[in-house]
Amino acid sequence: MHCIRNLLLLAVVFIGEISMAHGNIVACVGDSITFGHSIQHPDKDAYPAVLQQLLGNEWRVKNYGANGATAIKNTPELTPYIKRDVYPESLASSPSVVIIMLGTNDSKPAFWNPGAYRRDLLSLINDYQSLPSSPRVYVATPVTSHAELRTPWDVSEANLIDVRKILIDEIRKTTSAEVITMAGMDRLLFVSDGVHPNEQGATAIAHHIFSYLQNRLNTPSRQ
């Protein structure tokens, strides 16, 4: 009897340790800006890594960024986020919080379709809101682009203005997901292409998101 009880206690402890290991997960869903493209050490300096430092050990921030990813599903080849390996990985992480930042690649004139972006982003939001872990879903507006528009495959700040408008005026009203409005970022916070934030830019993104989440997650300031 004592043996069975001890085994049950060990099982409870083991399950509890698993729950703690997988609990309080923040899944950062996005494109190369989330991944940390052009940052030398994205595992330390991309915005999810900096957000981890700000949130502290109570949370586990996971980077599910994919270079070149779009929210729109009918973009070519493996461009859509839902066709990337990180998509099922992010769903399987049982997140408590999901932060989606997609739209920069969608803004390229070759891809841009306001109706498709709205529809497919809502579908993606629903995928996360339907998870058994019932995460809080936040959608961050894409950061400023300082890139020069030369071809249909360049990021378009003009289209990004429409992306932000869709997120703020429509997504926020048609879903329970909260929209984090990113502040405009100075050109000095980007690498030479004007699209990808440098280390300082990634830090600015992380601090802005942390400031928004801080009261909602009851997290003490570590700034």
Per-residue pLDDT of the chain (223 residues; tens, 9 = 90+): 444 333 333 333 333 333 344 569 999 999 999 999 999 999 999 999 999 999 999 999 999 999 999 999 999 988 999 999 999 999 999 999 999 999 999 999 999 999 999 999 999 999 999 999 999 999 999 999 999 999 999 999 999 999 999 999 999 889 999 999 998 999 999 999 999 999 999 999 999 999 999 988 876 655 5
**Is 66 contained in some domain?**
yes
**Is 52 contained in some domain?**
yes
**Is 77 contained in some domain?**
yes
**Is 223 contained in some domain?**
no
pLDDT digits (tens, 9 = 90+) for 23-80: 699 999 999 999 999 999 999 999 999 999 999 999 999 999 999 999 999 999 889 9
**Is 4 contained in some domain?**
no
61: its two tokens? 């921030």
Q: How far apart are CA 144 and CA 60, in angstroms?
A: 27
**Is 3 contained in some domain?**
no
**Is 51 contained in some domain?**
yes
Domains: count for the chain: 1
Q: How far apart are CA 153 and CA 78, in angstroms?
A: 15
How deeply is 130 buried, as exposed, middle or buried, from its count of CB atoms within 10 A (0-12, 13-18, 19+)? exposed
Q: Which domain holds residue 39?
A: 24-216
> What's this model's pTM, rounded to 2 decimal places?
0.88
pLDDT at 49: 98
Beta-bridged to residue 63, according to DSSP, are 28
Could you tell me the CATH number of the domain that includes residue 128?
A: 3.40.50.1110
Pairing, β 25-30 against β 60-65? parallel
**Is 2 contained in some domain?**
no
